[in-house]
Amino acid sequence: MSNEIPYKIYLNESEMPNAWYNVRADMKEKPDPLINASTHQPVTKEELREVFCDELVKQELDNENRFIPIPEEIRNFYRMYRPSPLVRAYFLEKKLGTPAKIYYKFEGNNTSGSHKLNSAIAQAYYAKKQGLKGVTTETGAGQWGTAMSMACSYFDLDCKVFMVKCSYEQKPFRREVMRTYGASVTPSPSMTTKVGQQILTEHPGTSGSLGCAISEAVETAVTTPGYRYVLGSVLNQVLLHQSIIGMETKAAMDQYGIKPDIIIGCAGGGSNLGGLMSPFLGEALRGEADYRFIAVEPASCPSLTRGAFAYDYCDTGKICPMAKMYTLGCDYIPSASHAGGLRYHGMNPILSKLYDDGILEARSVKQTEVFEAAEMFARVEGTLPAPESSHAIRAAIDEALKCKESGEEKTIVFGLTGTGYFDMFAYEKFHDGKMENYVPADEEIAQALAKLPQI
């Protein structure tokens, strides 16, 4: 093993980025704007302010400023668990016998267990600064809810989490972590909101969905004085906050003169993917560098690879503004056999645009392939990965094996977004050979897309 590059590259705290990276500044054609779900006109700042904090509305709509300074209070909090390590996967390379050099940026060394905390603390900070009492949000796999609970606890804000019911029941320990941080957790759909009541009336036995939990959280935010809604992915502001991942990765690589050939991220709503890639995408868009960008999504929820690029609702209740994005339709719910997150029906508008423009590649992987990669990674690299992150591991391994065949010494970097300590139920299924690979039939996808609003 080489002695030149350490196993883990840690930036010094003084080398941590002072600004987030806004990749929209580098895009010649900007993403299409959010539009009002009733009027179909571009949403105004005023409309968005009813849902989101003022400063976050500004960030959501900012297509121009490349660098957005990170407030000192947020940088202080980041120091609690950042800089995160950029790890050279020496053990994995050896196991695969590949000439490729594999790196991963590991975001799981904090109690939320994932990168979600990077945006949660920013959103909590702006809520506090605006003098709010609290925030509402939804959580699926539970990482975002945990992150938001931690962030709210730090700024002494109330945090109301709507947790997708099947996840609430399958992951009681996730719920308990949120309680440790003082959050209230309600299984969704619930009777506490109109939209929840309506969904429960129409589908009495439903185990919930992300789109439905979002609707409940938004309704609660706009009807409760002193509250706003926060979201852990999909939004442009989230990509912005998550760019800290890419900024640190790039700084660490630059220090050691490492230039990646392939950058890989798992793809749900796009928060980690966009965050890791942002500064690299900026270079590519400015023509300063040439990278391959690969988004990896579950075969059971293939918004990029099989969805349509269209204006769609962001939530089941159709309360939120609409976004132009790759989508399977707001009613699409991945099969119950799908484990873990990455189950949102759409994809962040910036990434959707870049995919449509051919800058970003995408592929889908089946979940048993994902868990095979996860287990191999856990054994050789010592970190038991989250199912979500393992999509990126799968693609990184596949690319490294191609290098083994071709003899190319490519440099691959991927985002290891989090740990799987609260996902052992899914691992158990995998070990017991009970994990299914659901791939929606063409007809199912066609039916879902046929329901897309005509705009």
**Residue 379 touching a copy of itself (CB under 8 A):** yes
Element of type H or E holding 296:
strand 292-298
Out of 361, 369, 375, 444, the only residue in the binding site for a copy of itself (CB under 8 A) is 375
Residue among 170 and 233 whose Cβ is closer to a copy of itself = 170
Residue among 178 and 396 whose Cβ is closer to a copy of itself = 178
Q: HSE on the CB side for 357, CA within 13 Å?
A: 17
Torsion of the alpha carbons at 20, 21, 25 and 30, rounded to the nearest 10:
-100
Out of 34, 127, 177, 333, the only residue in the binding site for a copy of itself (CB under 8 A) is 177
**Cis bond upstream, residue 83 (ω within 30):** yes
Residue among 181 and 326 whose Cβ is closer to a copy of itself = 181
The length of the chain is: 455
Tell me which residues in 51-80 interact with a copy of itself (CB under 8 A): 76, 79-80
**Residue 256 touching a copy of itself (CB under 8 A):** no
DSSP letter assigned to residue 30? P
**Residue 111 touching a copy of itself (CB under 8 A):** yes
Structure tokens at 252: 């660490």
DSSP letter assigned to residue 131? T
**Residue 113 touching a copy of itself (CB under 8 A):** yes
Minimum distance of a copy of itself from residue 111's CB (angstroms): 4
Q: Which of 277, 289, 259, 264 is nearest to 354 (CA)?
A: 277
Q: What share of the chain is helix, strand, coil (3-state, %, to 5)?
A: 45, 20, 40
Handedness of CA 168, 174, 177, 182 (dihedral sign): negative
Residue among 358 and 382 whose Cβ is closer to a copy of itself = 382
**Residue 424 touching a copy of itself (CB under 8 A):** yes
Tell me which residues in 140-159 interact with a copy of itself (CB under 8 A): 150, 153-154
Minimum distance of a copy of itself from residue 421's CB (angstroms): 4
**Residue 428 touching a copy of itself (CB under 8 A):** yes
DSSP-assigned beta bridge partners for residue 294: 264, 361
Burial tier of 358 (Cβ tally within 10 Å: 0-12, 13-18, 19+) = exposed
Residue among 293 and 371 whose Cβ is closer to a copy of itself = 371
Residues making contact with a copy of itself (CB under 8 A):
1, 6-8, 10, 12-13, 76, 79-81, 91, 109-111, 113, 150, 153-154, 172-173, 176-177, 179-182, 375, 378-384, 419, 421-422, 424-425, 427-428, 431
